[in-house]
Every structure is written in C-alpha cells, then in structure tokens.
Chain A
Amino acid sequence: DAGVTQSPTHLIKTRGQHVTLRCSPISGHKSVSWYQQVLGQGPQFIFQYYEKEERGRGNFPDRFSARQFPNYSSELNVNALLLGDSALYLCASSLAPGRAYDYGYTFGSGTRLTVV
C-alpha cells in the first residue's frame, strides 16, 4: 500500500513568490494535517482538514492557506514567501481526527522548501 505521498520533494523559491505543496493521504484516510519543521525544531501544526472541512488552524499568518479535495488529497499554499518560510513541510494522514488516538498520524516524506 502506498503511504502518504507529497510533492514536490524539493523546491527553491524567491522571496515574494507563491508556492503550492501537494499531499495524497493513505488510501482510506480522510484526515490530512500539515506541519512545518524548521531545522533543529519539532514539527509545528499549521492546518488540519477532515472531509474537506478545516478542523484546526495553528498560529500561522494568513499567507498560509490549504484545502482538501473530494478524493481527500490536499494542497498547502503559501503566498508572499519570506526567508523564514524555509523549512520541511510535512503532511500527515489518519483515518479521522479522532482515530489518531488509536493509531497516531502517519507522515509523508515531506517537501523541503528553500526561500532565497
């Protein structure tokens, strides 16, 4: 079975540009969460979606947005990129938000974003 798939794996953008990151959850998983991991830190929660609805939002500026599609895949969009947005962006999936209590979240391999 395919795990959580993220694309692209690496990305270099210039300050002020826009970026779109994509995630496909494990088959059968309906919940997708996005996390940002800066070097040397633990992942920080950005968004959670379930059944195409936003179920949680972390402490990130409005430049960050996301959506979930009918097939449960998801996009994370970041506008007006800043140098500080350089990080590993992780997508995590679970059967449903509450099922994380049973099985935890499974992370994709991430997208490494570098802003120059």
Chain B
Amino acid sequence: QKEVEQNSGPLSVPEGAIASLNCTYSDRGSQSFFWYRQYSGKSPELIMSIYSNGDKEDGRFTAQLNKASQYVSLLIRDSQPSDSATYLCAVTGAGSYQLTFGKGTKLSVIP
C-alpha cells in the first residue's frame, strides 16, 4: 500500500513568516512529486513539481526533495493571508502515472 503522509494541521503562521509544510512517502520507487493548493470548496491547483534531489524555487515557493529520506517539503516565504488553504502533497510511483495524495495540511496565515 503506497502511502503519503502529511501533518493535517492546522498550521498557523503570522503574515510575513515562513511556512514549512512536510510530506513523507512510503514507495521508494516514487519518481515525481507535486504540491497542490486547495482552497475550501475548490479544486486542487498545482504549485510546484520536483523530480530530483535538492531544492527548486519558484517565486515565494521552494520545494525540497530528499529521496534517501523519502521526504518532500514546501517552504512558503513571506506568507500572505491569501496563502491560507489546504496544501496537498502528491506522488507518482515507478511506472505509474496516477497521483497518490496525502490528506493535506491546512495552513492559516494570520494577519
């Protein structure tokens, strides 16, 4: 059973702070890793994708991947109230294109 684990939160951070979201996965053969943002009542929206060990930066967002530790993280710098949402970690396995999602971490950015 392939699993993706996330802390459900809620994670509360003050406006302007760095929010750190974490995700672990069980399938060592996992190949692609994604972070989706989902506002309440809306559909998931892709924020970042990462495939290689290390960091990948896009604006205020940085995804970090450590395949040896089976760990993916998302850092949000200068957090804004509009970043308040549920963040879903998703993984594709070896030879599979289906996404396996975690339960999501709810982030609240306090003004």
Q: Are A and B co-members of a single complex?
A: yes
Once the chains are docked, how many angstroms separate the CA of A111 from the CA of B97? 23
Contact call A45/B43, Cβ cutoff below 8 A: no
Q: What is the total number of residues of chain A having a CB less than 8 Å from a CB of chain B?
A: 29
Chain A contact surface mostly: mixed
* Stretch in B13-21, B64-72, B75-83, B100-108 touching the partner: B100-108
For A97, the chain B residues whose CB sits under 8 A away are 97
Q: Among A31, A41, A109, which residue has its beta carbon within 8 angstroms of that of B103?
A: A41
Once the chains are docked, how many angstroms separate the CA of A40 from the CA of B86? 10
A window 88-116: CB within 8 A of B: 88, 90, 92, 97-98, 100-110
Once the chains are docked, how many angstroms separate the CA of A97 from the CA of B46? 16
For A42, the chain B residues whose CB sits under 8 A away are 4, 88, 90, 101-104
Q: What is the total number of residues of chain B having a CB less than 8 Å from a CB of chain A?
A: 24
Contact call B49/A104, Cβ cutoff below 8 A: yes
Q: With A90-B43, A100-B92, A101-B31 given, is the CB distance from A43 to B98 under 8 Å? A: no
Known: A41-B103, A45-B98, A58-B98. 12 other contacts (CB 8 A): A31-B97, A33-B98, A40-B103, A42-B90, A43-B88, A56-B96, A56-B97, A97-B97, A100-B32, A101-B32, A101-B92, A104-B34
